[in-house]
Amino acid sequence: MEPTHVYFDGQSIVFSENLGEIATFLIEIDKEVQSFLSREEQLENIRKQLLEYTGLVQVMAKTIQEANLDFHFQMSENPATIADKLKFNPHPRSEMIVLFAYLETLRCLWAAYELKKDDENDLRDAKDKTLEKFYADFCLSTNNKWVKENSKVSGKISKDKLRKLRNSLTHLFSVSGLCVVPEIMKDDSKKMMNATNNKALFISSRDLIEIIQGAFELVIKKWSDDYQDSLNNPNSEFEEKIKCTHSIVKKYGAILLRKNNSK
């Protein structure tokens, strides 16, 4: 029989080789999400570098002119206008939708594990029930790192509010009750929450990704604890459960095609 284990020591995660697809699937999703969330920061860094090069070109052009050197070069566009094209407005709602899709993937894997089912229809039928339980047990659990570090706010965010925010974003591209705020306005939102005694609640994409990361860690810890328990418990259902999770990934997980030389 193939080994089926998950081990998490708080820092490192080890999956048995035959469960490696679960780890690869989740790691690839996290990479995509992190890249998406950092795109504005990356573009802003490129814009700043481009403006620095523009300043250098201006100094060199002046030097050439003062030296009366016979040098002619015409740029098709002013570098400053190119830099302006790299300015983007924040996209908090779009970011939140991507993050809730990430969260839904994690919930789906957990539902497959808990329900011992690997059929898409069974998991869809159980969606509302498992969604709220997942939010309560992992996203808003007092063991979630973000919840611990943001107790004043997290205590006001219920599983119902989180679910309604998810639904309003994914169905209407809107917000409901729990307001979405760009990360750059986080300080302003904190002042408003304090001024209203937390009656006005705001959440940023950075908050949500940290909630998800905390939930991810708790899920892996639960799998690891269940595996440890199975070593001394002949009635443990761990192997059956984790195989259902693995089966869901194999059946429905997207396969990314990459060039051979890509990294």
**3-state class (DSSP) for residue 6:** strand
Residue appearing with tokens 């192997």: 239
- Residue 242 near residue 16 (C-beta atoms within 8 A): no
**Listed residues 50, 69, 84: the one ending a domain:** 84
Tell me 213's DSSP state.
Answer: H
Residue 26 belongs to some domain of the structure: no
**Listed residues 84, 112, 144: the one ending a domain:** 84
Cα–Cα distances in angstroms (integers) from residue 38 to residues 51, 73, 146, 183, 185, in the given order: 20, 36, 19, 11, 16
- Residue 236 near residue 229 (C-beta atoms within 8 A): yes
**Do residues 47 and 151 share a domain?**
no
**Do residues 106 and 156 share a domain?**
yes
**3-state class (DSSP) for residue 184:** helix
**Do residues 74 and 159 share a domain?**
no
Residue 169 belongs to some domain of the structure: yes
**Do residues 76 and 94 share a domain?**
no
User: Which of 170, 187, 169, 171 has the alpha carbon at shortest distance from 179?
Assistant: 169
Least confident of 50-54, 79-83, 206-210: 79-83
Tell me 170's DSSP state.
Answer: H
Bridge-based pairing of strands 13-15 and 201-203 is: unpaired
At 139, give phi and psi (nearest 5°): -75, -45
What percent of the chain has pLDDT above 70?
85
**Do residues 60 and 104 share a domain?**
no
Q: Which domain holds residue 74?
A: 40-84
CA 217 to chain centre: 13
Q: Which residues of 68-104 are buried (b: 16+ CB within 10 A; e: fewer)?
A: eeeeeeeeeeeeeeebeebeeeebbbebbbbbbebbe
> Region 176-180: what's the mean pLDDT?
74
**Listed residues 51, 84, 117: the one ending a domain:** 84
Residue 219 belongs to some domain of the structure: yes
Least confident of 71-75, 105-109, 130-134: 71-75
More confident residue, 234 or 172: 234
Q: Which residues of 145-157 are buried (b: 16+ CB within 10 A; e: fewer)?
A: ebbeebeebbeeb
At 260, give phi and psi (nearest 5°): -60, -30
Query: In which band, very low, low, confident or very high, does the pLDDT at 263 lie, cut at 50, 70 and 90?
Result: very low
Residue 263 belongs to some domain of the structure: no
pLDDT of the residue at 146: 95
- Residue 139 near residue 162 (C-beta atoms within 8 A): yes
- Per-residue pLDDT tens for 90-125? 788 889 999 999 999 999 999 999 999 888 887 776
**Do residues 151 and 105 share a domain?**
yes
The CB-based long-range contact list for 228-237 (8 Å cut-off, 24+ gap) reads 237/116
**Do residues 173 and 79 share a domain?**
no
Q: Which pair of tokens denotes residue 251?
A: 């059946």
**Do residues 61 and 126 share a domain?**
no
Angle at 246 between CA 110 and CA 99, to 5 degrees: 45
Counted domains in the chain? 2
**Do residues 241 and 131 share a domain?**
yes
What totals of helices (H) and strands (E) does the chain contain, helices first? 12, 4
217 membership: H or E segment, kind and range? helix 205-230
Residue 185 belongs to some domain of the structure: yes
Bridge-based pairing of strands 6-8 and 13-15 is: antiparallel
- Per-residue pLDDT tens for 14-47? 888 888 889 889 888 998 898 888 887 888 888 8
